[in-house]
A = this chain, B = another copy of it.
Amino acid sequence: MAITTEDEGLDAMFGALADRTRRDIVARLAAGDATVTELAAPYPMSVQAISQHLGVLERCGLITRGRHRQTRPCRLEPLALEAAMSWIQESRRTWAERMDLLEAHLDRLREDRQQ
């Protein structure tokens, strides 16, 4: 299931991060690669459920899964996080710009008043 547009990519990315278990897994993988069984161990849910969470993370590009003997070692792809990051930063940037303009505007008003 390929992700086509940027919007769909962000939908999938933010959607993936909207689940505590998946955020946990991402944080865990930031510290080092791990297998499905290792990742599932801390949680009171089935290994299948974790496997499905990993599917979600893989589909949005946040992780990749290799093959080593019977295991599927999971690895974080931190570059994928940049997409989410940039979106947030862009909104912040626009907002900050507007605040600067407002500030400049108020400064001009103050100057005019003093003349």
Q: Does A76 contact B (CB under 8 A)?
A: yes
Distance of A63 Cα from B93 Cα, bound (Å): 16
Verify B94–A31 contact, CB threshold 8 A.
Answer: yes
- Tell me whether A20 and B32 are in contact in the complex, defined as CB-CB below 8 angstroms, given that A26-B91, A78-B91, A85-B88 are known contacts: no
8 Å CB contacts to B: which residues of A42-78?
A: 76, 78
Distance of A19 Cα from B7 Cα, bound (Å): 9
- Residues of chain B within 8 A of A23, CB atoms compared: 7, 10, 14, 87
Q: Does A18 contact B (CB under 8 A)?
A: yes
- The size bracket of the interface on A is 20 to 34
Q: Does A106 contact B (CB under 8 A)?
A: no
Q: Does A84 contact B (CB under 8 A)?
A: yes
Q: Does A92 contact B (CB under 8 A)?
A: yes
Q: Does A98 contact B (CB under 8 A)?
A: yes
Verify A81–B92 contact, CB threshold 8 A.
Answer: yes
A residues near B, CB below 8 A? 7, 10-11, 14-15, 17-20, 23, 26-27, 30-32, 76, 78, 81, 84-85, 87-92, 94-96, 98
